[in-house]
Amino acid sequence: MANADNANRNPKQRDAPVERKCSYKEFMSCQPFNFKGSKGAIRLINWFERTESVFSCSNCTYDCKVKFSTEAYKITWVEFKKLLIKKYCPRTEIQKMEDEFYHLTVKGNDLKTYIRRFQELATLCATMVSNSEKLLEAFIRGLPRSIEGNVITSKPQSLEEAINIAQRLMDQYIWKEEQESAFKLLKQKLCEASILALPEGNDDFFVYCDASLQGLGAVQIQKEKAIAYASRQLKPHKENYTTHDLELGGVMFALKIQRHYLYSTKCTIFTDHKSFQHILNQKELNMGQRRWLELLVDYDCEIHYHPGKANVVADSLSRKERIKQLRVRSLILIIHPKLP
């Protein structure tokens, strides 16, 4: 009878309660604790216990436990990158890469390796190339000098454009066997060639002379070959001479230095002082000019005007600077008794 009553009261057997799937919002409403990761084992165990209590309160399913707990511990992408950099890229390593980036250059003709490494370091050392202009400057700085100027002149607007220009120029300047042979031949010829030629007879001597506020210069030529060079700095008291007197002094300096070639020989003197070719016809001369003209009469020479732009060698010699010699007034030598 009792069993019949129970059967009437419970016509259907109750099913087991189904675990409800909670949302992340409901999970966070239970205020789970964040694990800081720096408090040791005791704090970690406490975090486990409190997180499990939150699972119980929020009716969190088994599948969502890991997802929600890690979501509660989430950090931003910037913080995540900082942690990775701190772990795997310490400041000492960054400094090494920055130093390598600053001194990175093309080795030989291997432009591909340079480009690949440059792009890697530009990404890792972003603070050194904060904008496109600095990025281009850093890239061009490491190129060979033979193409660096051409890349700058092309005015590339992006790194990709600069890379294309550099690759095209490198293809033109690749040092192959043909260039190596030409270089060796040129080197051989330059080493074998005499700097000064020996005079041939006493004909066709030309003397180019010039004067400047730095000094005097002269070169003697025969048959388009240099026979002798000469240069001298002005003495302090001669720096106040007029241009006319300086040019006259340059001619006399050339004749004196090269007198062993020019004495009793017909020659032609070229100067860039136009009025100097008429000096023999002048009536009013000072004592210095008269003394120089007396020496000039001893030579069989003609004076002609030569434009300064064409008188390059003599002009360069007249402006040549000399390094003052070091003079030692006294020298003290100390001999130490314990030296080996």
Question: How many domains does the structure of the chain reveal?
Answer: 3
CATH, residue 279: 3.30.420.10
Which of 148, 152, 102, 156 lies closest to 124, judged by CA?
A: 102
Secondary structure letter of residue 173 according to DSSP: S
Query: Do 211 and 106 have their domain in common?
Result: no
Query: Do 210 and 302 have their domain in common?
Result: yes
Q: Which of 258-272, 307-321, 326-340 has the highest mean pLDDT?
A: 258-272
Rounded distance between C-alpha atoms, residue 216 and residue 209, angstroms? 8
pLDDT at 323 over 60: no
Rounded distance between C-alpha atoms, residue 308 and residue 208, angstroms? 11
Residue pair 218/257 in contact (Cβ under 8 Å)? The answer is yes
Query: Do 243 and 153 have their domain in common?
Result: no
Query: Do 64 and 133 have their domain in common?
Result: no
Query: Do 54 and 96 have their domain in common?
Result: no
Query: Do 217 and 276 have their domain in common?
Result: yes
Does 183 fall in a domain? no
Does 95 fall in a domain? yes
Query: Do 225 and 273 have their domain in common?
Result: yes
Residue 44 structural domain: 19-72
- Using alpha carbons only, what angle is made at residue 52 by residues 48 and 53, rounded to the nearest 5 degrees? 120
Q: Which of 147, 172, 197 is the last residue of a domain?
A: 172
Does 337 fall in a domain? no
Compute the Cα dihedral for 131, 132, 135, 137 and give only its sign: negative
pLDDT at 322 over 70: no
Written as one letter, the residue type at 81 is K
**Higher per-residue confidence, 173 vs 300:** 300
Query: Do 217 and 289 have their domain in common?
Result: yes
Structure confidence by residue, pLDDT tens digits, 11-21: 555 554 455 56
Query: Do 50 and 144 have their domain in common?
Result: no
Model pTM greater than 0.75?
A: no
Does 118 fall in a domain? yes
Does 238 fall in a domain? yes
Does 332 fall in a domain? no
CA atoms within 13 A on the CB side of 320: 17
Residue pair 59/19 in contact (Cβ under 8 Å)? The answer is yes
Query: Do 260 and 168 have their domain in common?
Result: no
Query: Do 159 and 218 have their domain in common?
Result: no
Query: Do 222 and 298 have their domain in common?
Result: yes
